[in-house]
Amino acid sequence: MSIIRYKLEGLYQRNQQFEKFYPLEETAFKLQTFITSELMQGEQYVNHKRFGMACGYSESQSLILLMAISSMTDNGLLQLNYHFSSDDGEERLLLESELNTIVISDDDTGGKSTLEEAIKNGRDINISFEIDKRLKKELLG
């Protein structure tokens, strides 16, 4: 049994509605095939749009699935990263736990807020899903 299927089983046990929208065997196969292909091309991240197009999911369907997987504690598959550009142009990848440590200027009010608050209030931010090193090792040997 692949690590992907095993980890998905845990997710599906906690949320039984997933089986209806993302059949376990089919989803595990699609994820494994896509991630292996991405790794063989040198990619370190799963792009939810590319994953959706390759596997027949809408953008929102792929985003829901990948967000659910990355939200599992110690999922061993994917880590959600937030892409942040500071005012001085520095690009950073942040984990969700770091969003409340970044204080930014609010262009609308002139005040300051944490990046986490700004996202909750509608600020757009790019995200990516980093492929876990254990999964890389299993898929590439």
The number of CA neighbours under 13 Å toward the Cβ of 6 is 9
The reply to whether 26 and 64 lie within a common domain is yes
The reply to whether 39 and 76 lie within a common domain is yes
Domain with 21, as residue range(s), is 3-80+127-140
Helices 24-40/48-55 angle, 10° precision: 120
The reply to whether 132 and 72 lie within a common domain is yes
pLDDT tens per residue across span 5-46: 999 999 999 999 999 999 999 999 999 999 999 999 999 999
The number of CA neighbours under 13 Å toward the Cβ of 42 is 0
The reply to whether 11 and 37 lie within a common domain is yes
Considering its fold, how many domains does the chain have in total? 2
Helices 3-14/59-71 angle, 10° precision: 90
Note whether 129 and 33 are within 8 A (CB): no
pLDDT tens per residue across span 118-134: 888 888 888 999 999 99
